[in-house]
Amino acid sequence: MRKFKFIDHIVFENDNYLAINKPAGVSSLHERLGKANSVIEQAKKYHEDLQLCHRLDKETSGVLLISKHAKAYSHAAVSFEKRLVSKVYHAVSDGVHSFKEVEVKLPLITTRSGRSAINSQKGKPSVTIFNTIENFDHFSLISCKPVTGRQHQIRIHLASQQASIAADEIYGGKMPYLSKFKRNFSFNKNDEERPMIARFALHAYSLEFKDMKGNPLEIIADYPKDMAVFIKQLRKFDKSKF
């Protein structure tokens, strides 16, 4: 598991909550194999009363809300349960897509393999709203707003729209290589070309809800280096110049 220093990733803190910009490759909770460097383990070292208010997939980066005491945790738990928390993710998807308030309603189940699948008979209601932020020649930067919070929901809902997330090979995404669209691309033939991003390109960009006093609270997490570099390369090499 990737190592990280908890304090360096804090992007928000007050008397009730703190939030980190979780790095990709770090689990929210302990993994079964117990290679201890999860967010919760590092959070407990920072302060023993800290509790995660929700989770992010191991390879997803971005905003992760953490409570500082029991009342704050309870308030957040109720807010999540009643869907009063607005979450926005950014994803780079394969292909060019023009989404404008596209609402995907497809019921999901978790299979024995641990993956998610669309199942109209047994699936739980799942809703995601998609908006295109920016188009490139071969990719799209998409804003994803999950109304429900099912496992792998954004990934499989995007895949259902023929817009699989770049590098998400589990749900149909392809590894993005610069050589496929950069003119006159060259690299050492003795070395294997590395993908532009090595994990699926999904980032929890923002989280918004009302705090314990009823005041709106919005927390934003900037793109981590791998996502930022990926998008920078797309803007430079995969955007037609008119």
Distance CA 59, CA 227 (A): 12
Mark whether 57 is an active-site residue: yes
Higher pLDDT, 190 or 116: 116
pLDDT tens-digit map of 94-106: 999 999 999 999 9
- How many percent of the chain have pLDDT more than 90? 83
Q: List, in order of start, the domains of the chain with CATH numbers.
A: 1-82 (3.30.2350.10), 86-206+225-242 (3.30.2350.10)
* Rounded mean pLDDT, 116-133: 95
Residue 212: pLDDT above 80?
Answer: yes
In angstroms, the CA 21 to CA 32 distance is 23
- What pLDDT was estimated at residue 65? 98
Which residue from 9, 1, 77 is spatially nearest to 34, judged by alpha carbons? 1
State residue 25's pLDDT score: 93
Q: How confident is the model at residue 238 (pLDDT cuts 50, 70, 90)?
A: very high
Per-residue confidence (pLDDT) for residue 35, from 0 to 100: 56
* Both tokens assigned to 229: 């570099």
Which range, of 52-66, 91-105, 116-130, 186-200, averages the lowest pLDDT? 186-200
Q: Does the pLDDT value for residue 242 go beyond 60?
A: no
The answer, yes or no, to whether residue 1 has pLDDT greater than 80, is: no
Residues 14-39, mean pLDDT to the nearest whole number: 85
Q: Could you give phi then psi for residue 206, rounded to 5 degrees? A: -150, 160
When pLDDT is cut at 50, 70 and 90, the band that residue 13 belongs to is very high
Tens digits of per-residue pLDDT, 141-197?
999 999 999 999 999 999 999 999 999 999 999 999 998 887 777 766 667 889 999
pLDDT at 184: 74
Single-letter amino acid, residue 179:
S
Mean pLDDT of the chain: 92
Of the residues 8, 15, 49, 57, only one is catalytic, namely 57
pLDDT digits (tens, 9 = 90+) for 198-208: 999 999 999 99
